[in-house]
Structure 1
Amino acid sequence: MSLFQYDFMIRALVGALVIGLSAPALGIYLVQRRMSLIGDGIGHVALTGVGVGLLLDTSPVLTAVIVSTAGAVAIELLRERGRTSGDQALALLFYGGIAGGVMLVGLSDNRSNANLMAYLFGSLTTTSRDDLIVIVVLGVAVLAAMLLLRPALFAICHDEEYARVSGLPVRTLNVLIAVTAAVTVTIAMRTVGLLLVSALMVVPVAAAQQVTRGFRATMALAMGLGLLSAGLGVWVAGEVDTAAGATIVVLAIGAFVAIAAGAAAWRLLRRRVQAVPQPADVEPPDVVLER
């Protein structure tokens, strides 16, 4: 009997595939800027938004989007003006977000640990139709922005000063990356959870970098790996009854290990082949034909 005959499994699969595509598409820019851990920081801020939603008895997804977006933009503006360094900004996101979230969840009437764990580690099979619509719409918007603005986003990630001299709206593009990161983290909290979403942004990109050289090829392969990990993760989780978010991340890490090992073995083989001495070019001896 197929697991995908159930509506909740189909919703889970569609939501996971959307996140599997959009998260690496954004993550490649974060990796280029050496901000791989910002997803974790925004995830902690999103937990504050979840607490606000539970406290006010409104949609936790909506309040998480608003709070995490505001936090990401504020940190980006502080970083740009030089008032705080990158690691200090991430520390503010980490500690302030997690502390505020736990405190607000404790103050709300719905203070069940099960609900809190569902947001921290994901609860893909409980994705409702309304949740799926939000995931698909926002995920497609993030994916479109990352693909359509790829040249400009690559420019500011590679050399921000050169991009500014070239006339690109650097501040606007930086804020765009911060906002899309917040949106991606928020919509992914139903899929892989707030504590694991950063892995889906970074691990496929790190795996693709092992075997590709160009930015476009790396982005395409990372998105393919994210899509494959998400699809297989939902299927494996349904078959063996494990947490879908954790299964997706474990498969992504497994793909990274396999690709890294294969690339290392290939480089070693090439070095050994090149180290084998080749026979020198020697003129053939004269041939004497006997009568």
Structure 2
Amino acid sequence: MEALTLLWLVAPMEWFLADVWGTALDAVAGATGVRVLGFPFMQRAYLAAVCIAVIGPLVGSFLVHREMAMIGDTLAHSAFAGVAVGLFVNATLALSVSPLLTALVVAVLAALLVQALIDYAGAYTDTSLAIVLTGAFAVGSVLVTATDGGIAVGINAYLFGSLATVSRASTGLLLAMSVLVTAVVTVAYRPLAYVTFDEVGARAAGLDVGRYNRLLVVLTAVVVVGSMQIMGVILVAAMLVVPVAAATAVSGFRRSVVAAVLVGQAATLTGTTLSYSYDIAAGGTIALVAVALFVAARVLFLGVR
């Protein structure tokens, strides 16, 4: 039943990828002579980049203003454990489980665990993040070595990101995730913003602060897993933090979110193009472009002041 539900969600996205996005980029490639836009794997990579640049800064804006920027790194390491679980199950039980799905399940559970440690165990935020990060990465490393390194090759693409391994199905899944995350943030924007900037006031106003905290960390887990194939586990937190940091000079929270998304778009599209052109790591290239944009924004802001 879960597989049928997932297929029902992803199939329309795969149709959009092939018949709308692919057709549009084919037309642009034919009109401009930019051949790279006509390659199916680059069409998938560019669509994934656009999605990542929307949902990363969108969710990251709330995290940065709550001083929870490092939760992205924690959940990325948890997603690494989830990928290792999927690959381990496939290798030892001869099954065909999607590592992205196991990564999503593990990352969501880790997100809820982090929030539970903060809410019920009295652990400080950074302590909770450290506990979950190290525990999850330890599980992943144990599973990798438990098969005598047999799944190490398969996990490398998830660690460092890759344009070539972004499949049609995973791009469709990322697009579905992006639509879901954007819709949820749009609907819950006001309470999320209230809890972000005035948690005490939100409690006094009768908002279920715990529910919105859990919602935010689960959304973060979805963003991390969706971004993982291009950015890689090691750098996935960059799109949650760096574009938001670059846009902090923009006045007004809504405008700063829009600015962060625009910075994210510039970073992912430029980084993806450079990665293909020079055959270098996609995640690292995107992160470096994002950092360069952050530095440029800081210099420009100081110059204006």
Tell whether the 8 Å contact from 1:138 to 1:183 is kept in structure 2 after alignment: yes
Tell whether the 8 Å contact from 2:271 to 2:285 is kept in structure 1 after alignment: yes
Instruction: Describe the shift of the 1:66–1:139 C-alpha distance in structure 2 as closer, same or farther (beyond 3 A).
Output: same
Shift of 1:150: 1.4
The question of 1:228 aligning with 2:261 is answered: no
The question of 1:192 aligning with 2:238 is answered: no
The question of 1:54 aligning with 2:54 is answered: no
1:47-66 deviations in Å (ceiling 9; x for gaps)? 11111101111211000100
Q: SS where residue 232 of structure 2 aligns?
A: coil
Which whole-Å CA distance do the structure 1 matches of 2:150 and 2:263 have between them? 37
Shift of 1:37: 0.6
Shift of 1:115: 2.4
For 1:258-269, list aligned pairs within 5 A.
258-267=296-305
Which whole-Å CA distance do the structure 2 matches of 1:139 and 1:125 have between them? 21
The question of 1:130 aligning with 2:169 is answered: yes
Task: Look up the equivalent residue of 2:114 and give its one-letter code.
Answer: I
Shift of 1:78: 1.8
Of the three residues 178, 185, 203, the one matched with 2:242 is: 203
Tell me the residue number matched to 1:270: none
Q: Which moved more, 1:144-153 or 1:112-121?
A: 112-121
The question of 1:245 aligning with 2:245 is answered: no
The question of 1:11 aligning with 2:44 is answered: yes
For 1:68-217, list aligned pairs within 5 A.
68-108=107-147, 111-210=150-249, 212-217=250-255
Shift of 1:125: 2.3
What is the percent sequence identity of the aligned residues? 36
The question of 1:256 aligning with 2:294 is answered: yes
1:99-136 deviations in Å (ceiling 9; x for gaps)? 11111122247734332221111113211111111110
How many positions carry a matched residue from both structures?
266
Tell whether the 8 Å contact from 2:87 to 2:154 is kept in structure 1 after alignment: no
1:59-115 deviations in Å (ceiling 9; x for gaps)? 110001001101110110220225211111011122111111111122247734332
Please list every run of 5 or more consecutive structure 1 residues that lacks an aligned counterpart in the other structure.
268-291
Shift of 1:233: 1.2
Task: Look up the equivalent residue of 2:292 and give its one-letter code.
Answer: G
Task: Look up the equivalent residue of 1:158 and give its one-letter code.
Answer: F
Which whole-Å CA distance do the structure 1 matches of 2:138 and 2:123 have between them? 20
Please list every run of 5 or more consecutive structure 2 residues that lacks an aligned counterpart in the other structure.
1-33, 91-96
Tell whether the 8 Å contact from 2:62 to 2:193 is kept in structure 1 after alignment: yes
Q: Which moved more, 1:103-112 or 1:118-127?
A: 103-112
TM-score, normalised by the number of residues in structure 2: 0.84
RMSD value, Cα: 1.4
1:160-190 deviations in Å (ceiling 9; x for gaps)? 1210111212111111001111111111110
Task: Look up the equivalent residue of 1:44 and give its one-letter code.
Answer: H
Larger helix fraction of residues: 2
Shift of 1:196: 0.7
The structure number with the bigger radius of gyration is 1
Tell whether the 8 Å contact from 2:74 to 2:132 is kept in structure 1 after alignment: yes
